[in-house]
Amino acid sequence: MIDFRNIRVLAFDADDTLWDCQSHFESVENHLYRLIAPYCDNPAHELFMTESGNMADLGYGCKAFTISIIETALRVAGDHLSAEELSDLLSDSKSLLHLPATPLPEVKETLQRLQAWPYRLAVFTKGELQDQENKLHRSGLAKYFSHVEITSNKTEVEFQQLCEHLDILPEHLLMIGNSLKSDIAPALNIGASAIHIPFHVTWQLEHSEDIEHERLVKITHFNEILKLL
């Protein structure tokens, strides 16, 4: 059971929690899969292998994804693809830098109402600094948050640092996000509480076993946060 009287900071994940991100990435993935499908058995696995191999050096985000997309196309089907096909794939990947970041249903209204409540609101997201900042700006939601933290990864270490930067104990933090792996599990592991809002698609590197925990609540609509608090 989450002790909501203890909560001081609500930290929100951004991609696929505040706005739709993954479905735009999936559209580019499908573009790649169409190109390389004649030359391999499992296009999704080929991309997964490239992304996994690049993770330690490139991390998360659009630029890392773009490199992995082009690298996979070249590795699997480089001899068969024209410069024009590769150029189109590159443009499609780079268009993710301008995805609309339109707030998901109920997000804006809920944040608006939460402003009147005695909680500090934070964004805690992993990815590329400029891209994440740009999306937050485009979403029109930046004004609702008093703290924005963008990190290369979201593990227990970064969650501890978030608490230090906010000058709170883990028990004062409530993390809200769509990824069990990077939003929920590490928050629970450091002693914080969490609300899981699943998104309809999950990136394969974020797949995780389901979690049951006394400090975790699962909801399906963003505005259920208001009822819980």
Q: How many CB atoms lie within 10 A of CB 173?
A: 25
Among the listed ranges 9-17, 28-36, 160-168, 208-216, the one in contact with Mg ion (CB under 5 A) is 9-17
Answer for which of 16, 51, 128, 149 binds Mg ion (CB under 5 A) is 16
Cβ distance to Mg ion smaller for residue 124 or 144: 124
User: Helix, strand or coil for residue 213?
Assistant: coil
C-alpha–C-alpha distance, residues 54 and 31, integer Å:
20
C-alpha–C-alpha distance, residues 224 and 222, integer Å:
5
Q: Which residues contact 133 (CB under 8 A, 6 or more apart)?
A: 148, 150
Instruction: Based on the shown chain and the rule CB under 5 A, indicate whether residue 131 belongs to the binding site for Mg ion.
Output: no
> Residues 161-180: x/- map of binding to Mg ion (CB under 5 A)?
-----------------xx-
Binding-residue total with Mg ion (CB under 5 A):
5
Task: Give whole-number Cα distances, 71 to 39, 50, 74, 77, in Å.
Answer: 15, 7, 5, 10
Among the listed ranges 7-15, 27-35, 90-98, 111-119, the one in contact with Mg ion (CB under 5 A) is 7-15
Answer for which of 2, 7, 10, 15 binds Mg ion (CB under 5 A) is 15
Cβ distance to Mg ion smaller for residue 19 or 144: 19
Considering the complex, what minimum distance in angstroms separates the CB of residue 224 from Mg ion? 17
C-alpha–C-alpha distance, residues 90 and 83, integer Å:
10
Considering the complex, what minimum distance in angstroms separates the CB of residue 202 from Mg ion? 9
Instruction: Based on the shown chain and the rule CB under 5 A, indicate whether residue 93 belongs to the binding site for Mg ion.
Output: no
Considering the complex, what minimum distance in angstroms separates the CB of residue 21 from Mg ion? 7
Among the listed ranges 6-14, 36-44, 81-89, 142-150, the one in contact with Mg ion (CB under 5 A) is 6-14
CB burial of residue 152 (10 Å; 0-12, 13-18, 19+): middle
Cβ distance to Mg ion smaller for residue 139 or 178: 178
Considering the complex, what minimum distance in angstroms separates the CB of residue 140 from Mg ion? 18
- Dihedral angle computed from the Cα positions of residues 217, 13, 106 and 104, in that order, rounded to the nearest 10 degrees: -130
Considering the complex, what minimum distance in angstroms separates the CB of residue 120 from Mg ion? 20
Helix (H) or strand (E) holding 146: none
Instruction: Based on the shown chain and the rule CB under 5 A, indicate whether residue 68 belongs to the binding site for Mg ion.
Output: no
Token pair, residue 71, equals 């690298």
The contact set with Mg ion (CB under 5 A) reads: 13, 15-16, 178-179
